[in-house]
């Protein structure tokens, strides 16, 4: 056995995922939203928010009709009112199945993605390819508002605790606050999910120290990214009752994919930016 063969053999020992490189839509895994939403008191008939889940796939490739590889930064918009969320590892494997599959043109790739993802989400999903030029022009951006990360807080509670959320005064304010310190856990794998969280609200002044401690308390909490944002939205409404509320999370990449859920009283999703850790 050659040294190269031995090296490959040792690399393949142990458990590993089977990556399929020919188009296989059955790899997609749908998870109903309502199980988690019902635990938060949310009914399908009266969602307390509007919103979108925006996925960015940075490692997407396929073959053109001549067998030459093509690449794209693929962006998927899944409405918050969809019946299902799409599990991220399953999405990664599904996108990987395009890598050695021939398509006549980009339009065929986009229509195939939209058809499969719409079926999985049970709501219309739109797909766009972001060009290299567009990506370079947009570049990285910072979150608007005031950072909470400079606040000195003592905390040793790393399991979701909404008791930290308190109204500080009756003064009516309009604030945009954010943190880069957020971490939760994937409920499927137990791996950490890191994110920047931005909260915009109009209403009675919310304790900033309490808000930061609340967001840090998700550190050992296992929940899908979309569900985390909905939990934050509902907790803030229940505990602090703002007149208007927007909650946005920008999660870092895992497997070449990031997710950016947005829940709001507003119909406008706001600026879709890429922050420094994405």
Q: Which residues are catalytic?
A: 186, 193
First to last CA, the chain: 42
Task: Give me 228's structure tokens.
Answer: 């985390």
Report CA Rg, the chain.
21
Distance CA 127, CA 118 (A): 10
What is the Cα–Cα distance from 98 to 38, expressed in whole angstroms? 36
Host H or E run for residue 109: helix 106-121
Nearest 5 degrees, angle CA 213-CA 217-CA 88? 130
Tell me how long the chain is: 278
Q: Which 3 state secondary structure label does DSSP give 43?
A: strand
Containing 234, the helix (H) or strand (E) segment is helix 225-240
Closest by CA to 264, choosing from 278, 276, 248, is 248
């Amino acid at each position: 056995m050659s040294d190269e063969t031995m090296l490959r053999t040792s690399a393949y020992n142990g458990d590993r995922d089977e990556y399929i490189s020919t188009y296989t839509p059955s790899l997609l895994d749908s998870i109903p939203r309502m199980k988690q939403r019902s635990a938060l008191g949310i009914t399908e008939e009266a969602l307390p928010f509007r919103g979108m889940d925006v996925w960015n796939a940075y490692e997407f490739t396929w073959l053109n009709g001549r067998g030459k590889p093509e690449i794209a930064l693929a962006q998927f918009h899944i409405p918050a009112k969809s019946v299902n969320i799409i599990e991220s590892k399953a999405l990664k494997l599904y996108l990987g199945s395009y890598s050695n599959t021939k398509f006549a043109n980009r339009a065929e790739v986009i229509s195939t993605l939209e058809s499969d993802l719409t079926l999985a989400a049970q709501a219309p999903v739109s797909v766009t390819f972001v060009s290299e030029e567009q990506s370079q022009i947009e570049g990285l951006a910072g979150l608007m508002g005031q950072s909470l990360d400079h606040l000195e807080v003592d905390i040793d509670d790393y399991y979701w605790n909404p008791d930290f959320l308190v109204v500080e005064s009756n003064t009516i304010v309009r604030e945009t606050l954010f943190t880069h310190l957020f971490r939760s856990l994937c409920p499927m794998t137990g791996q950490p999910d890191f994110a920047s969280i931005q909260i915009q609200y109009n209403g009675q002044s919310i304790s900033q120290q309490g808000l930061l401690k609340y967001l840090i308390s998700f550190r050992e909490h296992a929940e899908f990214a979309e569900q985390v944002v909905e939990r934050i939205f509902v907790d803030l409404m229940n505990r602090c009752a703002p007149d208007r509320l927007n909650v946005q999370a920008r999660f870092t990449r895992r497997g070449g994919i990031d997710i950016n859920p947005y829940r709001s009283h507003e119909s406008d999703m706001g600026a879709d930016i890429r922050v420094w850790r994405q």
